[in-house]
Amino acid sequence: MITFPNAKINLGLNIVARRPDGYHDIETVFYPVPLCDALEIVPARGGCTTLTCYGNKVDCPPESNLVMKACRLMQQHCSEVGPVDIYLYKHIPDGAGLGGGSSDAAHVLLMLNAMFALGLSKQELACMAAALGADCAFFIYNHPLMATGIGNVFSPAQVNLKGMTLLLVKPEVSVSTREAYARVTPAPAPEALATILSLPVSQWCNRLKNDFEPSVYAQYPSLRSIKSAIEQAGALYSCMSGSGSSIFGIFDSAIMAEQAARQFANIAHFVITLQA
């Protein structure tokens, strides 16, 4: 079996409160983006499960990879799941706030569920995914969702960007999520996220915010410069995704997005037509 785990962006990210357990309550909308890795799972040739990675470098041993953790979790949960060989081609940039590793893990659960005819519901799979990471469960559903709690409590999101063009820029800078949270002072959002997202995209500027941006931009001014360049190139809206370091711009013209991308010839970037 082969599938193509996709990325996500965050539309707004409010860090509302610090929890007693050390995590943070947030409000955000996860929005799927068709920038994909490739994932293949086949019955193991030998007697044990293996993971082979290609493409972008993955800086962790196989057993520490979320893909292997997802497989081990499913094998512990369901005795029907035998040894498999997993092949992962990494295309989604790491350390970008795009959820690539979480998506890979969630898709492992979905694939094993189908491959071994386990009959687990999406709700059951999402509960398993949540044990792997706060945003893993989103990729089980994989359509626009409002996320609260630590990012694992979902409700419908009334936003549709289908047909718009996304310019996604990922510089070499990597941002530690833990450090990003440490630099933010949680506070309730002044305006409801759902209210802002009900407006035309052109009205999101200065209203739809990512609470990570001020502290991350102070530490990495080049990211602020990328956002400004995207805005000046005609984006309806631009923001950092998650805790960074990718910056995206939403355009209503594919031609304008392609023209804007030319200034980032020496930086990893992607021009993507949104499908959801």
**Per-residue b/e over 1-35, b at no fewer than 16 CB within 10 Å?**
eebebbbbbbbbbbbbeeeeeeebbbbbbbbbbeb
Instruction: Supply the DSSP symbol for 210.
Output: B
Q: Both tokens of residue 55?
A: 């493409």
Cα separation, 66 vs 81, in Å, equals 17
Instruction: Report the SS3 class of residue 229.
Output: helix
| Catalytically annotated residues | 8, 135
Instruction: Report the SS3 class of residue 54.
Output: strand
Cα separation, 149 vs 28, in Å, equals 10
Cα separation, 117 vs 127, in Å, equals 18
Cα 191 vs. chain centroid, distance in angstroms? 24
* End-to-end C-alpha distance for the chain, whole angstroms: 24
Q: Both tokens of residue 113?
A: 């569920």
Q: Both tokens of residue 233?
A: 């190139």
Residue position matching structure tokens 């984006």: 235
